[in-house]
Chains A and B, each alone.
Chain A
Amino acid sequence: MHKLLTEESGRELLLLGNEAIARGALEAGVSFTTCYPGTPSSEIPDQFFRISQETDLYFEYSTNEKVALEVGAGAAISGLRTMVTMKHVGLNVASDPLMTLAYLGVKGGMVIINADDPFCFSSQNEQDNRYYARLSSLPMLEPTNVQEMKDMTVAAFDLSEELELPVIIRTTTRLNHISAAVKLGDLRPVKTKDTFQKNPFHFVAVPAVSRNLHKLLLEKYNRALEKSEKWPGNQIIGNGRWGIVANGVSFNYASDAVSDLGISDKVSILKLGFSWPLPKDLCTHFLKQVDKVLVVEELEPVMENDLKAIAQESGITIPIKGKGVGGLSRLFEYDPGMVRKAVAEYFGVAYKKPEMHDLLDIPELPGRPPNLCAGCPHRATYYSVKQVYGPDAIYPTDIGCYTLGLLPPISMADLVICMGSSVSTGCGFSRATDQKVVSFIGDSTFFHSGITGLLNAVHNNHKFTLVILDNGTTAMTGHQPHPGVDTEPMGVNLTRVPVEDIVRGCGVKDVHVVRPFKLKKTIEAVKATMEYDGMSVIISKELCPLFAKAVGRFKKTRPFYVNHNKCKNHRDCINLLACPAMYLDGDQVEIDENLCIGCSVCAQVCPENAILPLKA
């Protein structure tokens, strides 16, 4: 049995933040969960993927976040408790249904988990999605620790059902990926089916209906505001005259700073967990009881600006500051030392900074950037394309492991905006320049949002080459399936839609399916695309070796070694491929037989045929 299904209420388990959210949803009686995976949110749906295989709870990895939210909307409007999970940039994709679903509302509780990523640990930007709550008028909850991630998820379902509105829970990477003890609650009964009650003049958002729905949303917003004013998690801690306002993970930094500095008797902290609608009366009350305020919030000065507006309305003139104090900025993550320094500076408290070492005598150290794995098929595909198109072609790329093609010696990534952008920007580049264009996209990303770009390319007569790196999984986020995957080895039986069928269905005439470890044939196919006057697609098919190992489909092949009698030390292998299984022993290239998976690409690249399979 999955550990999150335990009925031992009251027991304490060490849970990852994302597991705590999953448990919270189970305790709330969720029966319908959808997602598109994305770090740092992926472990939530991964729990439900396994849980759905041993229960009657419905779960799906949807093709993208917009689809996930719309599938979830169908379930929640029918009356089921529904959860939809995504990373912050995923909510951009889902923002279209989000804005109008807010008008329609829901019947069964619906919780949208939105995971922000300050510092861009695994993302293309660090946008602050608290603005989405303001944009959509939907309630937003922000937990500060793992226990709250569980408890708030339960509460969010109840709140959603009561207000008949989706509720957004906003986390950040630090919360998703910390583990701590969580006290479990009861699992509530689950309703897995309901009946949709027709009401077209409520659910069909044509202008005449929407005008009324907007009014209804504002009424619900006002009810949500009443709730947030009385929410027990929105609280003032302490009764000193120095005010601190904090949310999310920053609340911990602020409260630790106050105890480290020994100023608990001088400080009041306003902790905002139900942070939108902002509890205006509570904030006013707080502003009246303090002499000055420091706002501790990562990324944008959202609460800071709101508090200044509230102060203005009530004629309160105390200083309210956040960004610009100490090291507090709109950039990156905060940390305990940074917040302690800001609190000490702002309130004029003496404190001893921990003594840092003088590290000037440490020599410059070689970097250890992330790298494509040994035997990664992307490396082979990149090599073949570069042999034909050279370093000067434009290489738009996309979101996935293959974005690591940015690094030398591959150096074949010229532009990334968002998922699917490789295909559409390829259209723009090929029209706006006379340069050759080869776009790269992974299979899961292609299904997510590359298909519409490809249709556009065909319909508008664009001429460039799209390489679809089909490694049979969503590799970067932890090997989740997608529509092109054979899911049988993963224990489920979902209908497979081959990438090639989609590509041909989009109207592409010049389609090549290659096995990237066969360099000669792959290079021939790449050459053919260079000569073709139109839109070409290469589908480069080879399973991600990590995924193949995980599902027992890895075919063991003999690792390779360097025969030093033949090797003339050209080092094409190391210099062109940068496979991490290779290393230098003195002046000689060697292959680590434990890392080598026997893909043979280096053996095909070696001009001396000096790389050979190890004898059994």
Chain B
Amino acid sequence: METKRLVFIGVGGQGNLLASRLVGEAALSLGIPAVVSEIHGMAQRGGIVESAVLLGEVTSPIVSNAEADVLIGFEPLETLRSLGKCNKDTLIITNTHPLPPFTVAAGQGKYPPVDKSLELIRSKAKKVIALDGNAMANEAGNPLSLNMVMLGALIGSGAIPIGAEDMKKTISTSTKKAFLESNLKAFDLGMQSAN
């Protein structure tokens, strides 16, 4: 298959590491070669969390600047900050719900208005899927299911060779029963928004 390089970017606590691992698990179940890469430790304390998934006949576990096929941004400011990973053909999937960093409250910088950020993001990419992932997660009944919404949007975009049923099967085997229904609903809402 054609190599696919995915970059997930989010803020500590948003669950992007789990989302990238689930893509890896689903790929494994379908026999698609996959490498998932993540960074732990000090970087995680409220900071930016980046992970990557590489699908296909590629052995390097990370994505260089300008080489992402898909950028999945869990927070609009962080999507904007990560545009260096993209080229003109990159598909960008971004949450529009802002999570201002603490530096803004402490007066060390201004949070850029979301519509302005989206405008800049759109000016750099052929295809942008922008969705209010937090609203969908709430609608699904679990604010922590943002990662499932974003995963749904990724699968719905058709950018990777993993179908909705296979992805849902993976979600079902790795989710606690209490959250399964809301997670699957969040996934569906995300998927619909990408169609």
Considering the chains assembled together, what is the distance between the CA atoms of A107 and B25 in angstroms? Answer: 40
B100 A578 Cβ-Cβ under 8 A: no
Set of chain A residues within 8 Å of B88, measured between Cβ atoms: 355, 357
Cβ–Cβ contact B46 & A370, under 8 A = yes
* Interface of chain A residues 299 through 356 with chain B (CB within 8 A): 335-338, 353-356
Residues of A within 8 A of B110 (CB): 366
B46 touches A371 (CB 8 A): yes
CB contact list, B84-102 vs A, under 8 A: 84, 86-88, 100-102
Q: Size range of the interface on A?
A: 35 or more
Interface contact A368-B103, CB-CB below 8 Å:
yes
Tell me, yes or no, whether B80 is within 8 Å of chain A by CB: yes
Could you say which of B45, B46, B81 has the most chain A C-beta atoms within 10 Å of its C-beta?
Answer: B45
**B interface, size bucket:** 35 or more
A526 → chain B closest CB, angstroms: 25
Q: Is the CB of A337 within 8 A of B41?
A: no
CB within 8 Å of B: which of A399-421?
Answer: 401, 403-404, 408-409
- Residues in B neighbouring A144, C-beta threshold 8 A: 59
**SS class, residues of chain B in contact with chain A:** mixed
Is the CB–CB distance between A371 and B45 below 8 Å?
yes
- Complex interface: chain B residues within 8 A of A201 (CB): none
User: Are A174 and B77 also in contact (CB < 8 A) when A366-B108, A370-B44 are?
Assistant: no
Contact residues in B for A583 (Cβ distance below 8 Å)? 100, 102, 104-105
* Chain B, residue nearest A255 (CB): B59
Query: Which A residues, 405 to 450, have Cβ-Cβ distances below 8 Å to chain B?
Result: 408-409
A265 neighbours in B (Cβ, 8 Å) = none
A336 to B5, CA, bound (A): 12
Q: Are B48 and A368 in contact (CB under 8 A)?
A: yes
Are A476 and B108 in contact, with the CB atoms below 8 A? Answer: no
Are B41 and A39 in contact (CB-based, < 8 A)? yes
Please indicate the chain A residues that have their CB under 8 angstroms from the CB of B1 in the complex.
none
Check A574 against B105 for contact (C-beta < 8 Å): yes
B43-80 at interface with A (beta carbon < 8 Å): 43-48, 58-67, 77-78, 80
B159 CB-CB contact with A under 8 Å: no
Stretch at the interface among B31-39, B161-169, B184-192: B31-39
**A12 and B78 form a contact (CB under 8 A):** no
Beta-carbon contact of B67 and A337 below 8 Å:
yes
B179 within 8 A of A: no
> Which A residues from 505 to 557 make CB contacts under 8 A with B?
none
Q: Which of A69-77, A177-185, A494-502 contacts B (4 or more CB under 8 A)?
A: A177-185
| A178 x B37 contact (CB < 8 A) | yes
**Residue contact A336 to B46, C-beta cutoff 8 Å:** no
User: Are A256 and B46 in touch, CB under 8 angstroms?
Assistant: no
Given A14-B28, A355-B87, also A368-B47 (CB < 8 A): yes
Q: Complex formed: what's the CA distance from A154 to B39 in Å? A: 26
Residues of A within 8 A of B153 (CB): none
Give per-residue flags for A455-498: 1 if the beta carbon is below 8 A from chain B beta carbons, else 0: 00000000000000000000011100000000000000000000
Residue on B nearest A579 in the bound complex, by CB: B102
Q: Give chain A interface residues in 355-408, CB to chain B under 8 Å.
A: 355-357, 359, 361-373, 401, 403-404, 408
Give Cα A43 to B40, complex, Å. 10
A136 to B108, CA, bound (A): 49
Residue B178 at the chain A interface, CB threshold 8 Å = no
Could you say which residues of chain B place their CB within 8 Å of the CB of A121?
Answer: 39, 41-43
Contact flag A179-B66 (CB < 8 Å), given A359-B84, A583-B100? no
- Closest chain B residue to A356 by CB distance? B66
Contacts of B66 in A (CB 8 A): 337, 353-357
6 example contacts (A-B, Cβ-Cβ < 8 A) are as follows A181-B28, A362-B83, A368-B46, A368-B48, A369-B103, A477-B41
Q: Which residues of B contact A (CB under 8 A)?
A: 11-12, 21, 24-25, 28, 33-48, 58-67, 77-78, 80-81, 83-84, 86-88, 100-106, 108-112, 120, 123-124
Known A-B contacts: A179-B37, A354-B64. Give 5 more (CB < 8 A). A43-B40, A122-B40, A145-B59, A357-B83, A365-B77
Instruction: Please name the 4 residue pairs, one residue from A and one from B, whose CB atoms are nearest each other, closest first.
Output: A366-B109, A337-B64, A122-B41, A39-B41
